[in-house]
Chains A and B, each alone.
Chain A
Amino acid sequence: MTDSNPGSAKPTLKTLPGDDVRQILWRYSDRYDLQMVVQAARSVARGLVARLVAEGARHTHEWTPDKQRLLEAMDEAGITAVAIDPEHGGYIPGPKNLALALVAFELSWVDAGAATASLAGNLALAPIHERGTPEQVAKYMGGAVPAAPGEDRRTLRGAFALTEPIPYVGVDTNTMAGRVRVAEWKEGEEPILHVDKRGRFITNAAFANFACAAVASDDPRIKGSCMVILEDTDEGVWDPGSPTLKLVHQLSATNDPIYSLKVPASRIIGGYTVQDGVIVPNYSHAEVIEAVFRRTRVTVGLMTAAKLLSAVEPVIRYHRQRFRGGGQLQPGSPRYELGIQQREDALHRLIDVWATGEAAASLGFYTARLFDEFDPLEREKDRLFAERGIKGARAQLKAFAAVKDAALEFIRLEHLPADRRDAARYEELLNDTLVQFVVKDALSQVFCPATKLWNTGVGANMMREAVSLMGGYGITEDCPGFLGQKWMDAQLEATYEGPEAVQRRQLTVTMVNDLFLAQFRHWIRQMRQIAAKKPGTGACTLATAMELWLWTIGYLQKAKDANGETLYHGQRQGVAFPMADALSWLLASRQQILDVLELEEKGGDNPALADGFEGTVAFLTDLCHVMAARASGEVGRIVAELVYGYLRHPSWDGDCDSCFRASELEAVASVVPGFDSSPLEVIQDDDTHADKAGPCVRFPGMERFRELRLKLDGCLTGARLAKDRAAAALTEVMIPEALDYPR
């Protein structure tokens, strides 16, 4: 029998994973442009951003001249232009989801408020980038590129104005107080609109000189809703409003602005047509938002991932040095060298933080890459639909439904070995834009909310663990790595751009899409295959947990509760939401395993990694195992509650098919000797019974579920040994003498 958990002779982690390792894990080792963007963002984060935090810039809600320097530093380092296409003055060609994700990750390593300041500028441009007319794109994308020295123009800085004061808050609101009406419409001329919008919690509003505002029609001559570009030079009121008194992300400017402006109708994002004397925007505000948030939420998820990974080094250093300097300890003694690292609990908890950070980063960066693949498909799909005259949501859905079978066929072929599939048919489907679009769309509709939900929600909880590992120091302002601030910041990340409930609601719909589930089924087999070659990854454990989740989602979709109510539907959030959580755990763990396999495969080619490569891979593999076990445990707990929890517990006075009267039992035992020693429920002839709620549960039809649950428990074998090894590695890994940013 192969030992999947070899002993301590295994090579271990020598140094903290550096850029060479990360570039392979997150798949940008061949992208020099991205590697440079990472270094540029890092220099701003660990330079100016860290100094601002250390000097207390987070203590003010106002946008100060010091904070303004952040924008200049980001302009200077090329960060502002990352989102811009080269034809408009940017320098990264093609989709930029991974590039923006890396920038957000690097900035958040020190302070997520700074990342939000950068992100919010991109968010303001995103509606224009995704849905704007060519003129709008040219003007605003080009204008957002920082002015070159000697160039006489102001740099355009935007705000995304969606959220409104209570009661109309939240990113998915269908009702808005923001209004647009026709102010003036002269014969043969462009209509002039009047826009009234009060925003709440609008990032960048303090310094923005344009805003993309979501508004609803307040005029029969305008149909529905739309997004409109407002400028600070437009006629009317442009009031940046008062700063939001937020407790977190204070390096971003968040205000409650008031806009009441006259703008030409050409500012409607995506343009409009005039039908029977009515202005019909080409895109409703919801259509614009959907295109925007499905991308930008990923970067938010990565902001929390960066926090977790950034906590590792300061915690190790604090633990090791905890007892030094007291005068009585001698260098070389275990207490001097290891400090708190002598305690298993401290090591194990840090391993949990680290493993969560790795999984969150793997999930987030995968999703960013997925959108990089998806973007060109979406544009090509839009082009095809325009060419074929397919307009409106219903017509599009019909077109997607028409290729569903072909998409399922593609998924089946995709997961067959190349020599066993119909190569011509596979190639045909691979080159079919619509097929590829629906396959990738099914993934992106799950991975985006899963990233936002899991990374920020679980990440925020895990940041609390990281803070606790620093003792009282953790909640001081001068805690190395600013861990206390990061913990609080994580809560905002779990909230803005769609709080957790919004993500769960989206997953409720998208995770039961046949095209997603078809891919998910193949992933179970994939995990088993990985486990056969790399048993130490925890892939087998995860595969069992995935099977259990899949069985449960199928069951919940068909089953009813004890009251005859349908279990799985949009409004039954007590059922659907936990399943969304469970799925997110599985996806995060799976991506982490896939990334480590990539490292193992590709890392050997990099001579810079040669020395400690085996140890690095072994350690990261152990982290995978730890996370797979944790994810599987979560899934087991959730599905057991859902499957059993909606059934009525059998009662002694109800119809109990496993209950016997004592006298009956005696009679049967006289014919079938030993029958009375079976584990049966017995009701005495005087109606007394064992002290418990009722006969123990036995539900027919649940055999497979029980089998999987039992199997999953056994699959956890070795997970704690992996954790022990990883913990031991923490005591040996070499770390720098100090953090590379001030505190």
Chain B
Amino acid sequence: MSNGYHIVVCGSLVPDPLQALEPVTTPDGPALKNESMLPSVLDPWAAHALYEAAHLAKTVPGSKVWLVSLGPKAKLQQLMMTVAQKAPFEFVAVDGSASGFTDSFETAQALAKAIESIAGLDRQRLLLFGGCSSASRDAGTTVGMVGALLGIEEQFLAVDEIVPQEDGSFRVKERVEGAQYLVSECAGAPAVLAWATGNLPEPPNNPQVGMTNMRTIMPALAKAQPAGNLRGSLRFESVETPTQRRETRVVKDAGIDEIARELADWIRG
């Protein structure tokens, strides 16, 4: 492809998965106890999308990556100290709740509006990336709606791989039921790719990359527009954590076989 892709990744923060989350009721509706004080990470689905975007941009000359984040400004700033080190991108911030108790549609509207305002973005070369389950309480609705609001009809959900072709088209592997993949050919941008886990490992933090990104991050945070009401008419009857007991431990880089064996052993008792 001669000019490369313009890849916009939608991704924001979620509480660190190791935190014990406890829903509480506030005058504005449900929230998480001590939410603003809990450490945050980039939503893991969106993180995969970002790593894939960075890889794709590196592979296809002329490509560029934007990261569009909707979240509380102060929390986003802290998050960027890590995320900015992972890959080169230009940052666009929207100041609003990322609590998980927002409505997909309102969230999608705020994101679409932010994307429309990106200077220099060529919508004909646009690949819209995001996490397949992000900002939707796992319903998988948000990225698709952002695409729809931007008028993008080619949409791929639960993507694990994109293989660009020289003519600008690309092949996409999407997860479907029964551990099967659906392989599609797409003529090219614009398209929506909502990522599952992809195939790339998390890049190491690199402060040098981070410092380059900071040139756009701090101004973007300074001029972040408020997202407005993201709950719309959504009402929550009740919110509670699952009753199962969590037994968490951290094991990094374990293989699939190892994980499966451990689960099987645990079920057998």
Enumerate chain A interface residues (CB-CB to B < 8 A).
Answer: 14-15, 18-20, 32-33, 35-40, 43-44, 47, 51, 73, 76-78, 81-82, 91, 606-612, 734-743
Contact = CB atoms under 8 A, between A and B. Distances in A.
Contact of A47 (B73, B248, B252): B252
B87 to A, nearest CB: 14
B205 A607 contact: no
B72 A742 contact: no
Given A19-B39, A611-B36, A737-B20, A51 B205 contact: no
Interface stretch (B75-83, B121-129, B176-184, B225-233): B75-83
Interface string B198-212: 000000111110110
Contacts of B211: 32-33, 36, 91
Given A15-B34, A39-B205, A608 B253 contact: no
Contacts of A44: 204-205
B16 interface: yes
Contact of B34 (A14, A19, A81, A82): A14
A734 B34 contact: yes
Contacts of B205: 36, 39-40, 43-44, 77-78
Interface in B21-61: 33-39
Nearest to B82: A39
A78 B85 CA distance: 10
B148 interface: no
A607 B250 contact: no
In the A-B complex, list the 7 residue pairs whose CB atoms are closest, starting with the nearest. Answer: A608-B74, A40-B205, A736-B18, A738-B248, A36-B210, A36-B207, A78-B207
Contacts of B18: 736-738, 740
Nearest to A612: B37
17 contacts: A19-B78, A35-B81, A37-B207, A40-B85, A40-B210, A76-B204, A77-B206, A78-B207, A81-B208, A91-B208, A91-B211, A608-B36, A611-B35, A611-B37, A612-B37, A740-B250, A743-B249
Contacts of A741: 250
Contacts of A32: 81, 210-211, 214, 218
Contacts of A743: 249
Secondary structure call for the B interface: loop
Nearest to B16: A736
A77 to B, nearest CB: 5
Contacts of B38: 15, 18, 734
Nearest to A23: B78
Contacts of A606: 74
Contacts of A609: 36-37
Given A15-B37, A40-B205, A20 B20 contact: no
B150 to A, nearest CB: 31
Contacts of B34: 14-15, 611-612, 734
A739 B250 contact: yes
A47 B251 CA distance: 10
Nearest to A38: B81
A739 B18 CA distance: 8
A81 B38 CA distance: 31
Nearest to A15: B37
B167 to A, nearest CB: 29
Interface residues of B, number: 37
B250 A742 contact: yes
Given A736-B16, A740-B18, 8 more contacts: A32-B210, A32-B214, A35-B81, A44-B205, A91-B207, A608-B78, A611-B37, A741-B250
A39 B250 CA distance: 18
Given A610-B36, A737-B19, A36 B251 contact: no
A687 to B, nearest CB: 74
Given A40-B207, A43-B205, A77-B204, A737 B248 contact: yes
A743 B249 CA distance: 9
B92 interface: no
Contact of B249 (A91, A608, A735, A742): A742
Nearest to B208: A91
A618 to B, nearest CB: 14
Contact of A18 (B35, B39, B208, B251): B39
A110 to B, nearest CB: 12
B94 interface: no
A15 B39 CA distance: 10
A462 to B, nearest CB: 26
B4 to A, nearest CB: 21
A82 B206 CA distance: 11
Contact of A736 (B20, B35, B36, B74): B20
Contacts of B204: 40, 43-44, 73, 76-77
A76 B206 contact: yes
Contacts of A43: 82, 204-205
A675 B46 CA distance: 89
Nearest to B217: A32
A698 to B, nearest CB: 57
Given A15-B37, A18-B37, A607 B78 contact: no
A40 B205 CA distance: 5
Nearest to A81: B208
Contacts of A607: 36, 72-74
Nearest to A73: B204
Interface in B162-221: 204-208, 210-211, 214, 218
B268 interface: no
Contacts of A739: 250
Query: Which of B36, B38, B249: most chain A CB closer than 10 A?
Result: B36
A738 B211 CA distance: 31
B112 interface: no
A611 B74 CA distance: 13
A208 to B, nearest CB: 24
A145 to B, nearest CB: 11
B47 to A, nearest CB: 13
Contacts of A36: 81-82, 84-85, 205, 207, 210-211, 214
Nearest to A90: B208
Contacts of B82: 36, 39, 43
A742 B251 contact: yes
Contacts of A608: 36-37, 72, 74-75, 77-78
A47 B204 CA distance: 10
Nearest to A608: B74
Contact of B206 (A20, A47, A78): A78
